[in-house]
Structure 1
Amino acid sequence: MKYTNAKQILPERLLAEIQHYIQGESLYIPKQAQAYRKWGSLSGGRQALDRRNDAIRQAFRHQSSIEQLAEDYFLSVDTIKRIVYAKQK
């Protein structure tokens, strides 16, 4: 997380008001709700994991064992179980 000196960016009146409530401590200011993006939405990581998980479910439906899938995808048996037994959206 990047820290910015409030004195450098906030108007003096706003800084004085914030100092009324908190002084010399770190203050986290969250993004506005519309600014949030889900994990992996920009990089494509989420889509890649979804495709991988779909392939794992498909292979499981076609009689691949959980142990074999764990070996094929370099994942733990518990992770494979979580993927194949999870309720679909």
Structure 2
Amino acid sequence: MSYVKANSILPEELIKEIQQYIQGETIYIPKEKSSYQKWGSSSGARKAIAERNASIKNAYKDGFSIDDLAEEYYLSVDTIKKIIYSS
């Protein structure tokens, strides 16, 4: 998160209105809910994990054991079970 000076982006009358409530402090103005993105959607992490999980499910269907999959993917046995048994 970067900081931007209010003088460079806000109209003077809006700055004066805000100064009635707060002066000389840093405030955070959140995004609108409509512009939120789910975790990992912009970096591709969400897609990569979905592909990994599909690969784990397919390998299990092909006969790999849960212990083998845990070792191959560096995940715990419990995590592999959650992936396999999820819908």
Q: TM-score range by the shorter chain?
A: 0.7 to 0.9
**Who is 1:13 aligned against?**
13
Deviation, structure 1 residue 47: 1.7
**Who is 2:29 aligned against?**
29
Task: Report the TM-score when normalising by structure 1.
Answer: 0.73
The total of aligned residue pairs comes to 87
In the alignment, structure 2 segments of 5+ residues that lack a partner are none
**Who is 2:39 aligned against?**
39
Question: Percent of pairs identical after alignment?
Answer: 55
* Cα distance change of structure 1 residues 25 and 61 upon mapping to structure 2, 3 Å threshold: farther
SS at match of 1:21: coil
In the aligned structure 2, how far is the partner of 1:28 from the partner of 1:85? Answer: 41
In the aligned structure 2, how far is the partner of 1:58 from the partner of 1:25? Answer: 54
Task: Report the TM-score when normalising by structure 2.
Answer: 0.74
In the aligned structure 1, how far is the partner of 2:82 from the partner of 2:21? Answer: 45
CA RMSD of aligned residues (A): 2.1
Match status 1:49 vs 2:46: no
In the alignment, structure 1 segments of 5+ residues that lack a partner are none
SS at match of 2:20: helix
